[in-house]
Structure 1
């Protein structure tokens, strides 16, 4: 059996880092409404609420180098940022990018920028600048990250989420952009075929901006499912959650067959659900009907009394996160 920690990624250590950093940086707050620890920070500037977020694509960049598929990385970079912005109710307005390369990469850079533009147009945001660096000895291959800015009129932080509220799940494009250190270990160990699953593994992260903003006045919270998977729902509420998740795409089953324990899959990957929406019974049908214009939407559970996150998997296995 292969766990995430076997690939060199310790999620518990990352949580410790996040908690430590959040505590230290809080000493700088003056106009901060939402600080480190939520999906995006929010600051008040002369009455205007601005949301900020920074994220990269992670080690999926290494598979881009193996497959020659770089455009998807640009889309991923936008998606990882704007999806977190809308998760606090922000409308994405601007992006700046950072690309670091080991050496000049003309063709690769062209694809990365084309992907960045494609993702930004999908998110209806603008690329207003960035930084491109060549750093031999520091970078092996390339890395890409973005920072994004959004404007908040209706903060959606989950403060009014309560037992009885409905939880909807929006279908993902597949793996999106987390868990790739574990995936690469499976590939390198000969347990997962990159050749057979290249298209699925390199599919770009779905951008949920239009979906979430379109129902913002009828929802209580939104949660982007990325690293740490469903454990990040603790950012939304301390109440209990009862989730019955649908059958995921075949790529997730293939990864599990390659040796990843069933419970570990739900701690690392999105398992076919890329965004979760919290809404009241009053608006549930309206929200669901709107979201179905874009892709599959699943009624996956409710908020309950208590504090546990209980997941019923597609194999009818009950997990407690």
Structure 2
């Protein structure tokens, strides 16, 4: 059986490192409203609250080199940032990108840029600059990251989430851009066919900006499901959660059949849910009806007393995260 740690990624140790970094950088805060540890940082500049986030696409870039599919990676880079901005209620405004290349790769850069532009337009953000560096001996193939800024009146951090609140899930577009070190391990071992699943794996991360911004007045909190999967919900609330997960895309079942333990799937991948929305019972139906115009919407469950995240999987197994 294959776990994320077997592929070289230890989420627990990564969290420990994040905590150390957050403690160290907190000494720089002067105008920070939201520091490290949430989906985006927020700093007050004059009378305006500016939200900022930086992220990349991870080792999905290596899979793009094998498949020759690059444009979705540009969309991924935008999505991983703007989805995190909107998770605190911020409206994305601008992006800059950083592209590091092993060697000049004009065709790759053109396709990546097309993806960046597509993602920026979908999230109503402007790409106002960036940096391209040729770094032989440092970079294997290429790496790409974005920094995104947004504006927010009052950050939604989940402070008013309470037991009894409803938890909704918005459908994902597939694997998105997380867990690819594990996916690549399965491919390298011959347990998962890149020929059969390459196009499905390379689908871009879904962007949820417009629909979330349209319902901000009816939601209490929003959580983008990325690295660490549903443990990310801890950024939103320390209360308990009881969630019944939907039937996932076939690609997740194939990854599991390739040798990933069932419980590990829910600790690594989004399992068909790309964004989670918290709301009160009064607004739940209104939100479901509106959001279903954009994506498949699942009523996953509710916030509970206590502090355990209980997940009932599509196989009706019970997991605690």
> TM-score scaled to structure 1, two decimals?
0.99
1:9 is paired with a residue whose SS is: coil
* Cα separation, 2, equivalents of 1:253 and 1:306: 31
Match status 1:281 vs 2:262: no
2:175 is paired with a residue whose SS is: coil
Report the equivalent of 2:17. Answer: 17
2:278 is paired with a residue whose SS is: strand
Displacement of 1:153: 1.8
2:93 is paired with a residue whose SS is: strand
Report the equivalent of 2:262. Answer: 262
Displacement of 1:199: 1.4
Match status 1:119 vs 2:147: no
Displacement of 1:127: 0.1
Report the equivalent of 1:205. Answer: 205
Structure 1 unmatched runs, 5+: none
Cα deviations across residues 224-272 of structure 1 (Å, max 9, x unaligned)?
Answer: 0000000010100000000001000000000000000000000000000
Match status 1:80 vs 2:80: yes
Cα deviations across residues 188-214 of structure 1 (Å, max 9, x unaligned)?
Answer: 000000000011100000000011101
* Cα separation, 2, equivalents of 1:11 and 1:134: 30
Report the equivalent of 1:146. Answer: 146
Displacement of 1:160: 0.2
Report the equivalent of 2:136. Answer: 136
> TM-score scaled to structure 2, two decimals?
0.99
Report the equivalent of 1:162. Answer: 162
Displacement of 1:42: 0.6
Report the equivalent of 2:50. Answer: 50
Report the equivalent of 1:231. Answer: 231
* Cα separation, 1, equivalents of 2:151 and 2:8: 37
Cα deviations across residues 154-177 of structure 1 (Å, max 9, x unaligned)?
Answer: 321100000000000000000000
* Cα separation, 2, equivalents of 1:17 and 1:200: 32
Report the equivalent of 1:196. Answer: 196
* Cα separation, 2, equivalents of 1:223 and 1:245: 15
Is the deviation greater in 178-187 or in 284-293? 284-293
1:78 is paired with a residue whose SS is: helix
Report the equivalent of 2:174. Answer: 174
Cα deviations across residues 249-296 of structure 1 (Å, max 9, x unaligned)?
Answer: 000000000000000000000000000000011111111111011011
Structure 2 unmatched runs, 5+: none
Instruction: Give runs of ≥4 in structure 1 deviating > 6 Å.
Output: none
* Cα separation, 2, equivalents of 1:41 and 1:184: 31
Report the equivalent of 1:108. Answer: 108
* Cα separation, 2, equivalents of 1:138 and 1:155: 38
Match status 1:60 vs 2:64: no
Match status 1:312 vs 2:312: yes
Structure 1 residues 217 and 154, CA, compared in 2 at 3 Å: closer, same or farther?
A: farther
* Cα separation, 2, equivalents of 1:258 and 1:140: 27
Displacement of 1:140: 1.0
1:49 is paired with a residue whose SS is: strand
Match status 1:35 vs 2:38: no
* Cα separation, 2, equivalents of 1:234 and 1:295: 24
* Cα separation, 1, equivalents of 2:142 and 2:134: 9
Match status 1:241 vs 2:241: yes
Displacement of 1:47: 1.8
